[in-house]
Structure 1
């Protein structure tokens, strides 16, 4: 088996998570989080739509982690993001973190917003 080192350009990968926190690029963040090429920061959750719309210029798709289990996004959230020109994929936060890391390693323009588990 051949192992290749993955190089993450600007954005930082999700390295771990647990009850109420995420570790992204060596930094522990408690609560909901956004990870994007422009940096990692706390997120206000589903009501903080403006923070997600602000990612439209730097990401083609935003993975939204809905916590420990997959859940439907609130009415209008998906529509507002798609109207702004960015794709949205909702999934449980662990799956969102894994998907984000894989596509990030491929050099794709992705962002991540997650609620804690």
Structure 2
């Protein structure tokens, strides 16, 4: 960056700080802000947390935590694998990633409306999805995202809170293979 550009950026930042300061103090013709804007650092770091948005309706599923053996959903602790479609939750039989087969996901052949995306929580580590399973999921009309279970639960929360039709098939976080 050239010296002139650096000086221009520095002046711009100083002017913005002055304007923000005068607005907070009631000057500048603008309405004073009652609370500061959240920092970008905090906004981006929230993605890794399960509890992302407050004031979620009571009838909406929301993952609030996880352990090596299960999940906490809407204040209730569940052990083992879970299958979620929209705001419906059920226990699910697969215990390891290799047990996730088209048969284990056959419910998606009859569920309507078809979720736009299926998030597979692979356990502790991301696993490659078998081509046969990938083809089965595509045949239902869903997109597929296979990620670790912690981030799968978080992604499910975000998409569900946005009102999107989403499904999650989650192994407990302690599953490693």
Larger strand percent: 1
Instruction: Compute the displacement of 1:111 (Å).
Output: 1.2
Instruction: Compute the displacement of 1:70 (Å).
Output: 0.5
Unaligned runs of 5+ in 2: 1-36, 39-52, 95-99
Partners of 1:8 and 1:72 in 2: CA distance: 35
Superposed CA deviations along residues 45-98 of structure 1, whole A, max 9, x for unmatched, are 203121344446241101100000111123411110111111111000011111
Cα root mean square deviation, aligned: 2.2
CA contact (8 A) 2:114 2:140 kept: no
Aligned to 1:28: 77
TM-score, structure 1 as length reference: 0.84
Larger helix percent: 2
TM-score, structure 2 as length reference: 0.58
Instruction: Compute the displacement of 1:8 (Å).
Output: 4.4
- Indicate the structure whose relative CO is greater, using CA pairs within 8 Å and at least 6 residues apart: 1
Distance 1:13 1:55, change over 3 A: farther
Distance 1:95 1:41, change over 3 A: same
Task: State yes or no: 1:78 paired with 2:134.
Answer: yes
SS in 2 for 1:112: strand
Instruction: Compute the displacement of 1:114 (Å).
Output: 0.5
Aligned to 1:17: 66
Distance 1:51 1:44, change over 3 A: farther
- Between 53-62 and 30-39, report the one with greater CA deviation: 53-62
Task: Tell which structure's C-alpha radius of gyration is larger.
Answer: 2
Unaligned runs of 5+ in 1: none
How many residues were matched structurally?
A: 116
Map residues 1-117 of structure 1 onto 2, 5 A cutoff.
1=37, 5-8=54-57, 11-45=60-94, 46-47=100-101, 48-55=104-111, 57-117=113-173
